[in-house]
Amino acid sequence: MRALALLLIPSVALAQRPAASPARVVPLKPFAPPAWAVPSAPIPVGAAPRPDSTVWHHVAGSPRAYTMQQIGNAFDIPDWFPDAHPPAPKSVLYGTRPTGRACGYCHLPNGAGRPENATLAGLPAAYTIAQMRAFRDSSRKSASKDWPTNSMHAVAAGVTDDDVREAAAYFERLALTRRNRIVETTRVPVTRVETMLAVKEGEGTEPIAGRLIEVPDELSRHAMRDPTVRYTTYVPPGTLARGRRVATQGPAGIATACSTCHGPDLLGMAGTPPLAGRSPAGMLRQLVSFRTGARADSASVVMRPIVNALTVDDMAAVSAYLGSLPPQRGAKH
């Protein structure tokens, strides 16, 4: 898969710049993503209940305690394991009011992220800076209008260039630990949408029907933004073998494989973003966003020919395979 090298503009300023010479943009074929690939959170009816401010919550292994009101504070975020990462800058822990939420609120202080957003740990700083530029000029959107990615436009507009550079440099230094396991199966737990998918307890199972289903192993820990909670991705039998073929050989009719520019171990190469060990649901969503044209930033120029050749099954398969790989050299598979 061609790398996102066009995103890595050398200048550090975030303002949009004129392109030197416009590249040919490949037209996208008609495509309607399945709802399971871009789940949308239901719009709440009436005012949401105010989070409690009296009950103290804990997660295993952390000496800290927070109320749900504190856990939901995007401008003074919960940091359950402050000793597990380097000292984080203000932009990561506190953000800038009124719209510049702290980076660590969604992406967590250790950059591990969650299935509904990006994993920032280990991303090249220049790549992260370029993504913030794309959010600012609205060239990067989500295929689902309700997905949190689209709220990043307000965040990007509400922070300074210095904040972005500081946060990008911080996350680049962090090593990613894979928290996801891939399970090939014919049946999956019945799920519901809570920004991301979550298991409907007591509802049993249903046929997987060609889907990629990613859920937290413990929803309560996910809700408390515990960076150590693990996730399970369910895929149909044969998915990982199919994904390996796409990643290493390219989709049908396209000779460029993911490993061509993201490196033979998919850990990035020459500044391109690493893919190994990241959330399969998150990577699938990006492929869908490229395929629908929601992502029209500079990366779309090189990604469009590739996503045009991918079926939904291919997208799910390569995303699962990439997510199954060790995120660091020398790490166990």
Give one DSSP letter per residue of 148-185, joined into a string: GGGGHHHHHHTS-HHHHHHHHHHHHTPPP---EEEEE-
155-207 pLDDT, tens digit per residue, is: 999 999 999 999 999 999 999 999 999 999 999 999 999 878 999 999 999 99
Mean pLDDT, range 56-71, rounded to an integer: 97
Distance CA 188, CA 208 (A): 6
More confident: 332 or 315: 315
Residue 22: pLDDT over 60: no
Question: How far, in Å, CA of 208 to CA of 236, rounded?
Answer: 7
Nearest to 322 by CA among 214, 155, 182: 182
Nearest CA among 178, 179, 176, 197 for reference residue 188: 197
- Structure confidence at residue 146 as a pLDDT band (50, 70, 90): low
- Chain centroid offset of residue 269 CA: 19
Residue 252's pLDDT band, with cuts at 50, 70 and 90, is: confident
Mean pLDDT of 133-155: 85
Tell me what pLDDT residue 143 has: 84
How sure is the predictor about 46, in pLDDT bands with cuts at 50, 70 and 90?
Answer: low
Checking if the pLDDT of 57 tops 90, the result is yes
Q: Is the pLDDT of residue 323 over 70?
A: yes
Q: Where are the domains of the chain?
A: 32-39+57-324
Question: Does the structure show a pLDDT above 60 at 251?
Answer: yes
Report the predicted TM-score, pTM, of the whole model to 2 decimal places.
0.89
Lowest mean pLDDT among 212-216, 277-281, 300-304: 300-304
Rounded Cα distance between 326 and 308, Å, is 28
107 Cβ partners below 8 Å, 6+ apart?
Answer: 113, 114, 117, 118, 119, 120, 171
